[in-house]
């Protein structure tokens, strides 16, 4: 950019750092030797952070960590690696950015996580549903997915394949 003082000299960036969220602070120096002034510019990234539309219409920032926390609880002691959990979140995030511009309904995120997890681990899938139902305030998208959870549960119970220690019926 041109120096705003002499309006002739090109400037170079001598320092660059992110100051606040989405704002980059740059220290610049005029290359015109008769000027040579230093000044600071602030660059704001125009992209608006993705917001999640909750069931009640309120908006909250999209947060990978919330999805990750839920998935980790669901996959506790299950044969699902941290790498796989990362892949699920990456896939969900990529889908969201492809399908939506600035706002995504919470329902969409929930459905994507559920569909991906169902293909990977049935037990983790059912647990994920339970985890989010317990912590509605964390992400209440699950509320909207309750019918889907019930469907998955009844399908599971219907198969009679209750094998594995995780699903062993409790002794009286």
| Least distance between Zn ion and beta carbon 70 (Å) | 54
Q: Which stretch binds Zn ion (CB under 5 A): 2-10, 59-67, 96-104, 120-128?
A: 2-10
| Least distance between Zn ion and beta carbon 23 (Å) | 24
What whole-number distance in Å separates Cα of residue 73 and Cα of residue 65?
12
What whole-number distance in Å separates Cα of residue 49 and Cα of residue 3?
31
Site for Zn ion in 13-42 (CB under 5 A): 30, 32, 35
Task: Name the residue nearer to Zn ion (CB basis): 32 or 130.
Answer: 32
Query: Smallest Cα–Cα separation from 74: which of 24, 141, 125, 115?
Result: 125
Q: Which of 6, 13, 18, 48 binds Zn ion (CB under 5 A)?
A: 6
Round to the nearest angstrom and report the end-to-end CA distance of the chain.
Answer: 76
Q: How many CB atoms lie within 10 A of CB 67?
A: 22
| Least distance between Zn ion and beta carbon 31 (Å) | 8
Three-class SS state of 34 = coil
| Least distance between Zn ion and beta carbon 15 (Å) | 17
Strands 38-44 and 23-30: antiparallel
Q: Binding-site residue total for Zn ion (CB under 5 A)?
A: 7
Q: Rounded to 5 degrees, what are φ and ψ at 95? A: -60, -45
**Contact predicate 124/80, CB 8 Å:** yes
**Contact predicate 92/84, CB 8 Å:** no
Question: Applying CB under 5 A, does 45 fall inside the site for Zn ion?
Answer: no
Q: Which stretch binds Zn ion (CB under 5 A): 5-13, 57-65, 98-106, 131-139?
A: 5-13
| Least distance between Zn ion and beta carbon 38 (Å) | 10
Q: Which residues bind Zn ion (CB under 5 A)?
A: 3, 5-6, 9, 30, 32, 35
């Amino acid at each position: 950019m041109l120096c705003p003082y002499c309006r002739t000299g090109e400037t170079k960036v001598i320092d660059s750092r992110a100051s606040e969220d989405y704002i980059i602070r740059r220290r610049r120096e005029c290359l015109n030797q008769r000027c040579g002034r230093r000044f600071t510019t602030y660059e704001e990234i125009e992209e608006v952070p993705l917001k999640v539309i909750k069931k009640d219409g309120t908006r909250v920032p999209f947060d990978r960590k919330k999805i990750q926390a839920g998935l980790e609880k669901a996959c506790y002691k299950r044969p699902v690696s941290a790498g796989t959990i990362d892949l699920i979140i990456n896939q969900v995030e990529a889908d969201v950015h492809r399908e939506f511009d600035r706002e995504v309904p919470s329902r969409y995120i929930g459905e994507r996580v559920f569909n991906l997890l169902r293909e990977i681990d049935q037990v983790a899938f059912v647990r994920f549903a339970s985890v989010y139902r317990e912590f509605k305030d964390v992400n209440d998208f699950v509320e909207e997915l309750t019918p889907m959870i019930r469907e998955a549960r009844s399908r599971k119970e219907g198969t009679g394949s209750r094998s594995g220690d995780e699903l062993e019926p409790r002794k009286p």
